[in-house]
Amino acid sequence: MGHPEPFDLRYVAIGNEDCGKKNYRGNYLKFYSAIKKAYPDIKMISNCDGSSRKLDHPADFYDFHVYTSANNLFSMAHQFDHTSRDGPKAFVSEYAVTGKDAGTGSLLAALGEAAFLIGLEKNSDLVEMASYAPLFVNTNDRRWNPDAIVFNSSQLYGTPSYWVQRFFTESSAATVLETTLQTNISSSLIASAITWQNSTNFNTYLRIKIVNFGSDIVNLKISVTGLEPNSIQLSGSTQTVLTSASLMDENSFKEPTKVMPTQSLLENAGEDMNVILPPHSFSSFDLLKESSNLRTLRTDFLSRSSS
């Protein structure tokens, strides 16, 4: 590709959304065989979706794309729950809420995407990579909606979808914990829990992320089992919430921070705690814990809604 020196190329995707076309499988196998013979360490990515059925050709990864409504993407949080763990891994290389739900970057779109990402996080033994497809857009040459970061010659801002990405910054190096939702309104909630370590001060955190896709306030009781007594520190535990007055609220050059996360101290942090989830919100609870007390953890959620 014109590069003067060899470089560390680790993945090659053969085609783009070509699965099902007349000659794709035959051409794919020719490329796969030739590249594997010359570069056996390069991981090959098929265009064909292996989440619902096994592929009929060899691959290290399969590419998964989805552009849909907020409701559909929220429901797709369970897309990979029952996918076979044998065979290639999944690369979710393009996903976003599009159409009327998205506008040019709405809170509604961001919440649907947050739920989908929680589902990917909970299936991270299978979904090895994910990337939000529309990353940048120049507002003077807009050809796609929505995008994560909007800019012109002198300004920029992140859409609500960008801020959702920030909630998952530490997920790549984290340990995913078992979680259960014991509630009669679980159809509007999705949650995950991870442990992660801050690379700056090496503090260890238990992070619980929850999307409330419904229109009611939810009073949630969170119980964490598997911790040693008094291992959660009150000082240093925080809660971060992404929400806004209207589901279709967007950021703009005039109001670049209209929809963005707000962080506050979590004063009742502990193994058992009650939290309030605003309607149409994405919340993250970071519990500072003793590093030496890492054990097998389980997080249970009991909730009731109120208007």
What does the pLDDT look like over 29-79, one tens digit per residue?
999 999 999 999 999 999 999 998 999 999 999 999 999 999 999 999 999
| Mean pLDDT score, 214-238 | 86
Helix, strand, coil content of the chain in percent (nearest 5): 20, 35, 45
Homologous superfamily in CATH for domain 172-306: Golgi alpha-mannosidase II (2.60.40.1180)
| Phi, psi (deg, nearest 5) at residue 263 | -115, 140
In the chain the first and final C-alpha atoms are separated, in Å, by: 58
pLDDT band at 291 (very low <50, low <70, confident <90, very high): low
Which pLDDT tens digit goes with each residue over 71-122? 999 999 999 999 999 999 999 999 999 999 999 999 999 999 999 999 999 9
- 158, 251 in Cβ contact below 8 A? yes
- Which pLDDT score is estimated for 301? 64
Class of domain 11-160: alpha beta
Q: Structure pTM?
A: 0.92
pLDDT for the residue 294: 47
CA 202 to chain CA centroid, Å, is: 24
Rounded CA-CA distance 210/193 in Å is: 9
> How is the chain split into domains, by residue range?
11-160, 172-306
- DSSP state for residue 239 in the 8-state scheme: E
Cβ atoms within 10 Å, residue 254: 8
